[in-house]
Amino acid sequence: MAVQVYTFKITYLGVENRIWRTAQVSSNYDLARLGFMVLSTFDTLACHLFGMTFKGVRYFLDIEELESAPEGIVCSMLCMTRLNKLKMVIGDKLLMTYDYSCDQQFELELVSAEPMLHGKGTSYPKIIAGEGRGIVEDIPSSGFVYEKHSFREWDYRDYNMDSDNALLKGEIFVMECNFFGDDEF
């Protein structure tokens, strides 16, 4: 099958109307890279593990997580699963959990799949729409509070899509190197 451009609506569960992105990625992306893209565009430090669930299968980032999964759980590795192998259809949703002690969750809904134009592979990933700057580490969305008249260093409304796109590929690369090591790239 020809390479496609998948467009995902990514929402941070609990504050869906305030912090979300619409992102385009190659169908050749593996789930680990997709997860690092989410962590990058939502301003995390990527200092915690994350996993994804799709159609009853749990995907892990770390081999130790896979080996310690409860008996009877269907699971696989994020870095060994490409998006195009999931056979997703429009409307399908991946659930991503980041920082298992806080359970910060993202929903990634496939909203379109279009053929990738020849020679455009390096154009992706890219954010095409979004609201909200990102998330605060170690605080789940249920603890998210914005007081209108208080001084806060972190203002979730301060999102700049142009700078996010300018830094996106480099931040993904750094996150991958930090987790997998430089030898893999």
Cis peptide before 125 (omega within 30 of 0): yes
Q: Which CATH superfamily is domain 4-184 in?
A: MM3350-like (3.10.290.30)
Q: What angle do CA 67, 185, 86 make, to 5 degrees?
A: 55
Pairwise CA distance, residues 21 & 7, whole Å: 10
Q: Which strand (E) or helix (H) includes residue 25?
A: strand 20-26
With beta carbons less than 8 A apart as the criterion, state whether 72 and 79 touch: no
Give the pLDDT score at 14. 87
The tens place of each residue's pLDDT in the chain, 185 residues long, gives 689 999 999 999 988 788 899 999 999 999 999 999 999 999 888 888 899 999 999 999 888 887 888 888 889 999 999 999 999 999 999 999 998 778 889 999 999 999 999 888 889 999 999 998 878 776 655 554 444 444 445 566 778 899 999 999 999 999 999 888 765 54
With beta carbons less than 8 A apart as the criterion, state whether 45 and 137 touch: yes
Burial of 96 (0-12, 13-18, 19+ CB in 10 A): buried
Q: Where are the domains positioned within the chain?
A: 4-184
Pairing of the two strands 57-60 and 75-77 = parallel
